[in-house]
Amino acid sequence: MAFHVMLIPTLGCPSNCSYCWSSEEGSELMSIETVEEVVKWLENFRDEPVTFTFHGGEPLLAGYDFYKRALPLLTESLSHLKPALALQTNLWNLTDEMAELFHEYGIPIGSSIDGPKDLNDLQRGEGYFEKTMKGYKIAKAHDLKVSFISTITSHSVNFKEDIFNFFLNDGLTLKLHPALPSLRDSNPEKMALAPEDYGKLLIYLLDKYLENIDDITVMNIDNLCKCVFLRRGTVCTYVDCMGDTFAVGPDGSIYPCYRFVGMPEYVMGNVRDHPTVEDLAKSAPAKLLEEYKNYVDQECSGCHYIKFCRGGCPYNAITPNKGEINGVDPHCTAYKMIFKEITDRANKEFLSSPAMGMFGASKSKEQDSKPSIMSLMLKRS
């Protein structure tokens, strides 16, 4: 797992998505002094390449001047860490000036669209689609690389074909995100995608992706196939993320990941104190996540997929239980379904490969006509 620091310039956000769990009205903005403290904190923290991701809330609320000062600070003062940069935004506030700056720093952008306009606006609010697409045009005009996350809810999963075709027809890169129970809602499960439905959706997307392999990228499926092929996790959900990922909130508080930002019980320290790796490891949240890792070693020990699943996301597992560890990531059912599907298909393909033909195995017509799962395992991202 690579070293990753997420910077959260604010928890504020101008949109009002129905399943949101991470924005906070009236949230403060990170000051440039806090970024300077981030630099001082990381100067001697770890001697290895770091990725900084600006996340939120909505990080563009911090404005052009913030990025104009923050980006050189991070890249020049920490040049020994070879910083890579990324940004997750709804694009509403993107201006030509900002896009030019992000292009100068080679920043890839992740944004969010749930599918066709009506479906998207039903979930994310009236007008969301137009505003994001306006920002997308600005991003494209400045040659920025943009990929989209589609949050799939208990409602939108019924329109999975429309969603897939929307991304396919517009040539957009798709990453999907299952809606999580919103801890800030009085009915947290309302929009959440049930694990079984998530598993079925992943298998559906695997099929659709194989049918359209040259015309779309489905990032989740790429990653899942690579996890099985390499027998290790290739994204944070499927590795032990603790100790390699940190998030810094607007006030300089350090958390284990952006998902915990704004939850005081998960504060590990503050950038102003320049904590060492050892200092953070002694904090209560670090100990809790270490406990989760040990719990996974025991609880998932009999699972075929433990090496490249690692119990899924600790946030998903721990926060709905108010900080108690009494289960793994509730999406376990979905992970097992898709890992089994990929493994079974890969084994079947291997057994009917030319090499195995020498031993009498033969390919079915159906296998001949479809791109193989191996082509996804080897596809360049």
Burial 289-326 (b: 16+ CB within 10 A, else e): beebeebbeebbeebebebbbbbbbbbbbbbbeeeebe
Between the CA of residue 241 and those of 65, 310, 355, what are the distances in Å?
Answer: 32, 9, 38
Binding to ligand SF4, residues 321-340 (CB under 6 A): 328-329, 332, 335-336
User: CA triplet 310, 311, 317: central angle to 5 degrees?
Assistant: 145
Q: Is 245 in the site for ligand SF4 (CB under 6 A)?
A: yes
Instruction: Provide the minimum distance between the beta carbon of 309 and ligand SF4 in the complex, in angstroms, as a whole number.
Output: 3
In the complex with ligand SF4, the residue whose CB is nearer, 136 or 148, is: 148
In the complex with ligand SF4, the residue whose CB is nearer, 55 or 131, is: 55
Instruction: Provide the minimum distance between the beta carbon of 231 and ligand SF4 in the complex, in angstroms, as a whole number.
Output: 13
Q: How far apart are CA 50 and CA 83, in angstroms?
A: 5
Residue at 226: amino acid letter = K
Query: Which residue among 300, 338, 342, 376 contacts ligand SF4 (CB under 6 A)?
Result: 300
Burial (CB count <10 Å: 0-12, 13-18, 19+), residue 153: buried
Binding to ligand SF4, residues 95-114 (CB under 6 A): none
Instruction: Provide the minimum distance between the beta carbon of 245 and ligand SF4 in the complex, in angstroms, as a whole number.
Output: 4
In the complex with ligand SF4, the residue whose CB is nearer, 3 or 105, is: 3
Q: How far apart are CA 356 and CA 15, in angstroms?
A: 55
The closest alpha carbon to 338, from 168, 197, 157, belongs to: 197
Instruction: Provide the minimum distance between the beta carbon of 280 and ligand SF4 in the complex, in angstroms, as a whole number.
Output: 15
In the complex with ligand SF4, the residue whose CB is nearer, 111 or 245, is: 245
Q: How many other C-beta atoms lie within 10 A of the C-beta of residue 171?
A: 9
Instruction: Provide the minimum distance between the beta carbon of 247 and ligand SF4 in the complex, in angstroms, as a whole number.
Output: 8
247 forms beta bridges with 6, 255
In the complex with ligand SF4, the residue whose CB is nearer, 81 or 332, is: 332
Binding to ligand SF4, residues 200-239 (CB under 6 A): 236-237
Q: Is 199 in the site for ligand SF4 (CB under 6 A)?
A: no
DSSP annotation string for 81-103 = G--EEEEE---TT--HHHHHHHH
Query: Which residue among 198, 246, 292, 305 contacts ligand SF4 (CB under 6 A)?
Result: 305
Q: Is 27 in the site for ligand SF4 (CB under 6 A)?
A: no
Q: How far apart are CA 24 and CA 190, in angstroms?
A: 20
Q: Is 314 in the site for ligand SF4 (CB under 6 A)?
A: yes
Q: How far apart are CA 105 and CA 159, in angstroms?
A: 37
Instruction: Provide the minimum distance between the beta carbon of 170 and ligand SF4 in the complex, in angstroms, as a whole number.
Output: 27
Q: Is 306 in the site for ligand SF4 (CB under 6 A)?
A: yes
Q: Is 53 in the site for ligand SF4 (CB under 6 A)?
A: no
DSSP annotation string for 118-171 = HHHHHHH-TTHHHHHHHHHHHHHHTT--EEEEEEE-TTGGGGHHHHHHHHHHTT
Instruction: Provide the minimum distance between the beta carbon of 108 and ligand SF4 in the complex, in angstroms, as a whole number.
Output: 18
What three-state secondary structure class fits 176? strand
Q: Is 241 in the site for ligand SF4 (CB under 6 A)?
A: yes
Query: Which residue among 259, 330, 345, 346 contacts ligand SF4 (CB under 6 A)?
Result: 259
Count of residues in contact with ligand SF4, rule CB under 6 A: 21
Burial (CB count <10 Å: 0-12, 13-18, 19+), residue 241: buried
Q: Is 257 in the site for ligand SF4 (CB under 6 A)?
A: yes
Are residues 116 and 162 in contact, defined by beta-carbon separation less than 8 angstroms? Answer: yes
Residue at 16: amino acid letter = N
Do you find a cis peptide bond into 110, omega within 30 degrees of 0? no
In the complex with ligand SF4, the residue whose CB is nearer, 118 or 344, is: 344
In the complex with ligand SF4, the residue whose CB is nearer, 228 or 236, is: 236
Query: Which residue among 311, 319, 337, 345 contacts ligand SF4 (CB under 6 A)?
Result: 311
In the complex with ligand SF4, the residue whose CB is nearer, 119 or 309, is: 309
Binding footprint of ligand SF4 on the chain (CB under 6 A) = 236-237, 241, 245, 257, 259, 300, 303, 305-306, 309, 311-315, 328-329, 332, 335-336
